[in-house]
Amino acid sequence: MSPNPIGSRMEQLAQALAERLVPLIVDAIDLNAVLDKVDIEALIERVDINKVVDEIDIDALVEQTELGSIIARSTTGVLTEILDVIRAQGVGLDDFILRWANRLVGRRKKIAGWPDGPPLLVPRQPVVAVTAEVAP
């Protein structure tokens, strides 16, 4: 705004006129008639699509969507499932090798003291405490 009061009033008047006139003018324009005079295909041919694509910030676009977290979650889920399958196959292979090794050396029974499996996977048997009674 201008420091002079008359200039300030003129600016306010110009602003008020613009706020009333611009909508009237825009409403009076027939956009279809204007677009009929424009060669849209010629405009599209002038657009450099590669330049437009180069201007797109993919990282910012992904941040505004949940796409990144969806990809991360789905990738993690798939990897977890693959690891579970590999682990299960490893346990099965380990058991298979143990059975064949026992057959090769002639063992038919489980060796005493050997665990039934990994401690975290095999339920623990309750430990029975053996106490000696002391005579009075």
Whether 30 and 23 have beta carbons less than 8 Å apart is answered as no
- Taking only the tens of pLDDT, the chain with its 136 residues reads 556 667 788 888 888 888 998 888 888 888 788 878 878 888 888 888 888 888 888 888 777 777 667 777 777 777 888 888 888 888 888 888 888 887 787 776 666 677 677 777 777 666 555 555 655 5
The whole-number pLDDT of residue 121 equals 73
Q: What angle do CA 98, 104, 110 make, to 5 degrees?
A: 50
pTM of the model: 0.29
- Give the separation between CA 72 and CA 78, rounded to whole angstroms: 10
Burial 123-134 (b: 16+ CB within 10 A, else e): eeeeeeeeeeee
φ, ψ for residue 91, nearest 5 deg: -65, -45
Q: What's phi and psi for 129, nearest 5 deg? A: -80, 130
